Amino acid sequence: MTRSVNSWSEARIHDSEGSIHAIRRIAIHFHIMIYTITLNPSIDYTVSVKDLQIGKLNRAESESIRAGGKGLNVSAVLANLGMKSVALGFTAGVIGEAIEKLTLSQGLTTDFIGVEGESRINVKVLGVDGVTEINGGARFDERRIAELKRKLSGLTADDYLVLSGNAPSESVYADLLESVAEFGAKTVVDASGKLLTSCLPYKPFLIKPNLLELLELFDRTEAREDEIFEMAEKLRALGTRNVIVSLGGDGAIMITESGKRLRAPAPKGKPVNTVGAGDSLVAGFIYGYEKSKDYAEALRYGVNVGSATAFSGELATKEEIAKLGEIL
């Protein structure tokens, strides 16, 4: 079934219920739709400082400003790959207005819900010791969550719903998954701790903890590769269809819904900034799976996209990805 649409803005103007049904009517002939949720999007202000000195004036060598948040990162990389998505979440105040303008400048389609307060500004300082971050954030209540659920009421089995990042409660993602379970959409959860494990009974299509998050779930500090596979298998046994564990510079491993063990090494290169690399892996996997319908190929592609982000210092573009392997 194709979907025919003319204008994303018309969806918000003419949709009295604020649901995905209207968004569908205005999409450009897409067999699938991808929706990402960033509950608390941000403006990311990133500065590079050669030698950060606390308590003193530091001069930035470079700086950048863009709309941020894990779900928005997924949407941005999908857009770079030529795949449409709709980014959902909550924005507030003057910062929220700036986020919406920045997302438009990045070519993203959004359908944010306005709330009280101010959206967050993330200050990321890149120095010789890695990345130092300072975060803030807006607030939203159950009424706003109910409004978000209404927007998800038109999901179908052809669609993806990506839930990424931190949340104000450990049950909010599970609550959202429960509300869309009847639609059969492919749900993807990139979170940690109880925020992640509470989602497992709702059988997400994919979860993607990184190695540290996986070890914390099992109260471990280190593990051999076979033990990593075993822990991933235990998570799959609790409900999720597929598990990817990102291993940073070592690539990623995957347990598929059939129990098959897959391994994708990372291409060789020097990481510049790993912020957004995990989100890029998720976007690359979705893109690769929709192009190939093969888990091994999708995992390989996801790792290449994540690596392209880490090596370039910016969210992966098709050109940067092409340097690491063929484009699907």
pLDDT at 20: 60
What percent of the chain has a predicted confidence (pLDDT) above 70? 87
Q: What is the pTM of this model?
A: 0.87
Considering 57-61, 127-131, 283-287, the range whose residues carry the highest mean pLDDT is 283-287
CATH topology of domain 31-38+69-117+138-322: UDP-N-acetylmuramoyl-L-alanine:D-glutamate ligase (3.40.1190)
Whether pLDDT at 223 is above 70: yes
Answer whether residue 247 shows pLDDT above 50: yes
Q: How confident is the model at residue 3 (pLDDT cuts 50, 70, 90)?
A: very low
Structure confidence at residue 241 (pLDDT): 98
Average pLDDT for residues 79-92, to the nearest whole number?
95
Name the residue ranges covered by the structural domains of the chain.
Answer: 31-38+69-117+138-322
In the predicted model, what is the mean pLDDT of residues 15-37? 61
Per the prediction, the chain carries an average pLDDT of 87
Q: Label residue 7 by pLDDT band (50, 70, 90).
A: very low
SS3 per residue for the chain: CCCECCCHHHHHHHCCCCCHHHHHHCCECCCCCEEEEECCCEEEEEEECCCCCCCCCCCCCEEEEEEECHHHHHHHHHHHCCCCCEEEEEEEHHHHHHHHHHHHHCCCEECCEEECCCCEEEEEEEECCEEEEECCCCCCCHHHHHHHHHHCCCCCCCCEEEEECCCCCCCHHHHHHHHHHHHCCEEEEECCHHHHHCCHHHCCCEECCEHHHHHHHCCCCCCCHHHHHHHHHHHHHCCCCEEEEECHHHCEEEECCCCCEEEECCCCCCCCCCCCHHHHHHHHHHHHHHHHCCHHHHHHHHHHHHHHHHHHCCCCCHHHHHCCCCCC
Single out the catalytic residue among 51, 158, 279, 294.
Answer: 279
Picking from 3-17, 152-166, 222-236, 297-311, which range would have the lowest pLDDT averaged per residue?
A: 3-17
pLDDT of residue 24: 52
The verdict on whether 279 is a catalytic residue reads yes
More reliable by pLDDT, 279 or 138: 279
Whether the predicted pLDDT of 65 surpasses 70? yes
Most confident of 8-17, 139-148, 302-311: 302-311
Q: What is the pLDDT of residues 181-203, one digit of tens each?
A: 999 999 999 999 999 999 999 99
Q: What is the pLDDT of residue 55?
A: 82
Q: What integer is the mean pLDDT of 58-80?
A: 91
The predicted pLDDT at position 21 comes to 54
